[in-house]
Chain A
Amino acid sequence: MRGMSSIVQVITGLMAGMLILYGGYITLHGHLTPGGGFAGGVLIAAALILVSLAFGSVEQVERKEYILSSIFESFGGLGFLALALTGYFAFDCFFRNAGVFLIGKPLQLVSGGVIPLANIAIGLKVGAGLFAIFLALGASRFVMKE
């Protein structure tokens, strides 16, 4: 049988969606409430690892997931760098908050200039990066056992 017992699978199916939702909430509201990209990304990675442990065995990890998480991680890092460069090209100052006077009022969801976008980029980066590390470690353990 693939994965763990059906008790674990049912509970994981109930929990994983909520974990990802909560991670997304913490990431998106990073500029309003405690939390941010790092905490939200760790939550998302934990949900992915939970699903991966419960439903699939590490032996059958697909090359697709492996590459996909690497790509997402790189895009998160590039996005964060791009936001920093936006400040440089628009206001002649690296990491200048480019949109602070343009949209939204403080304490609204859409506010704070590029800070929410930077939170999303970091959340992507942390979540995908931790999941990629988990996949790599799991696959190598399987090979060493042989």
Chain B
Amino acid sequence: MIELYLLLAVMLAAALVASETKNLLAAAVALGLVGFSVAIIFILVQAPDLAIVQIVVETLTVVFFTAVILRTTEIDTTVTGGLKMETAMFIAAFLAFGGLFLALIVGVLRELPRFGEPVMRVAQEYVQFGLERTGAANIVAAIILDFRGYDTLGEATVLFTAVIGVLTVMRLVTRKKPWEM
């Protein structure tokens, strides 16, 4: 389990770098680091289908970001030095509040069941009777398409609405094209 925490630490550091750095290209790379860490975590907790989707989406995202940044920005090479008084106070306040919230969150997380030992009885039933009741060997497919079919229908509706929305909005822009006449 130590690699999971290492990856989480890397993700935190990369997210901070992505939001704080001035170099947009470095920010895009750090964002990609976060996304691929999520993919590796999916693999570690044995969710390979999510890992496949995450890798595809993350690769596309990084490529798009990089293309847009390379096309639209110029590299800024100025270096700012020195630690100002204001910055130091901001950092001190951030550390104080961060430590407070960390202590609270640790207290909350103690209440949760241990990782990998769920106490949910419904999920236990799905795992136990998934094969004989649905006939699907892949437990994920058995759950999302049989036991929780409503959820999948809602998810499909969300995607449908998103596509309809994009086509509608973009149609307003492209109304003047010859193939729209």
Q: Which residues of A contact B (CB under 8 A)?
A: 26, 30-36, 38-39, 42-43, 46, 62-63, 66, 70, 73-74, 77, 80-81, 84, 94-95, 97, 100, 104, 106-107, 111-115, 118-119, 122, 125-126, 129, 132-133, 136-137, 139-140, 143-144
Q: Which one of A42, A43, A115, A129 contacts B136 once the chains associate, using CB atoms below 8 Å?
A: A115
On whether the beta carbons of A97 and B134 are closer than 8 Å, the reply is yes
Interface contacts (Cβ under 8 Å), in number, total: 139
On whether the beta carbons of A143 and B177 are closer than 8 Å, the reply is yes
On whether the beta carbons of A111 and B140 are closer than 8 Å, the reply is no
CA distance A61 to B97 in the complex (A): 53
On whether the beta carbons of A139 and B60 are closer than 8 Å, the reply is no
| Chain B contact residues: helix, strand, loop or mixed | helix
On whether the beta carbons of A115 and B135 are closer than 8 Å, the reply is yes
CB-CB under 8 A from A70, the residues of chain B are 163, 167
CA distance A89 to B154 in the complex (A): 20
On whether the beta carbons of B173 and A144 are closer than 8 Å, the reply is yes
Q: What string of 1s and 0s marks CB contacts (under 8 Å) between B159-181 and chain A?
A: 11011001100110110110110
Number of interface residues of B (CB under 8 A): 41
On whether the beta carbons of B52 and A80 are closer than 8 Å, the reply is no
On whether the beta carbons of B179 and A106 are closer than 8 Å, the reply is no
On whether the beta carbons of B52 and A35 are closer than 8 Å, the reply is yes
Check B89 for interface membership: any CB of A closer than 8 A: no
On whether the beta carbons of B173 and A143 are closer than 8 Å, the reply is yes
CB-CB under 8 A from B4, the residues of chain A are none
On whether the beta carbons of B53 and A112 are closer than 8 Å, the reply is no
